């Protein structure tokens, strides 16, 4: 798969991704193919979540130190959708990496439902879980994939789903966890992955 080609030709900036979500909402739609009332509600909530993370979250010192040791240049390609709750809690963190080290990292976003071949190459437990953060080196090779959420939350989610099938309860637990964690688990896992880069 030509990741760099997808990055250059299909990828959009974070600002454009946010603008796309806003435009879709103004038209009574969201990204993807399901424009139901529930999906519109999730998307509206996610705009608020992304605004909060944009304003309140900063990279940890340890993460900044790990990024400072990276010498190569990398593309960060994120597979996402505006209605995805995990994405709303995670993707606003990624532009902060590029802002801290613009000479080493470029960031672009693509929509999952427009890139089935790409997401199907990066399934999580057989599903098209997002966000999927793909880091690509100068040769266009995939260096690592991270996502759709921190492992600790992935484990909690599995146990919550065994306790209840009510997705509203699960969503409340999930977003409550994210609010308490303040992206620290996400940053720690990404720090570990980025520290392995040249």
Instruction: Give residue-wise pLDDT tens across range 25-59.
Output: 999 999 999 999 999 999 999 999 999 999 999 99
Q: Note the pLDDT tens digit of each residue in 62-110.
A: 999 999 999 999 999 999 999 999 999 999 999 999 999 999 999 999 9
Do residues 46 and 88 lie in contact, with contact meaning Cβ atoms separated by under 8 Å? yes
Helix axes 184-194, 151-163, angle to 10 degrees: 130
DSSP 82: T
Of 144, 159, 150, the C-alpha closest to 182 is 150
Contact 82, 46 (CB under 8 A): yes
Average pLDDT score over the chain: 97
- All structural domains of the chain: 3-148+185-194 (3.40.30.10)
């Amino acid at each position: 798969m030509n990741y760099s080609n997808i990055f250059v030709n299909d990828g959009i900036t974070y600002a454009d991704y946010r603008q796309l979500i806003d435009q879709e909402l103004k038209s009574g739609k969201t990204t993807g193919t399901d424009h139901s009332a529930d999906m519109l509600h999730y998307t509206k909530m996610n705009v608020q979540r992304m605004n909060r993370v944009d304003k309140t979250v900063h990279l940890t010192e340890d993460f900044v130190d790990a990024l400072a040791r990276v010498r190569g240049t990398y593309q960060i390609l994120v597979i996402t959708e505006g209605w995805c709750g995990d994405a709303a809690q995670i993707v606003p963190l990624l532009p902060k990496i590029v802002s801290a080290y613009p000479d080493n990292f470029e960031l672009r976003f693509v929509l999952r439902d427009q890139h089935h071949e790409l997401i199907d190459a990066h399934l999580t437990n057989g599903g098209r879980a997002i966000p999927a953060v793909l880091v690509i080196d100068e040769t266009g090779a995939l260096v690592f994939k991270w996502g759709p959420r921190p492992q600790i939350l992935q484990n909690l989610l599995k146990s919550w789903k065994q306790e209840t099938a009510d997705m509203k309860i699960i969503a409340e637990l999930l977003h409550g966890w994210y609010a308490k964690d303040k992206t620290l688990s996400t940053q720690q896992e990404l720090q570990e992955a980025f520290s392995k880069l040249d």
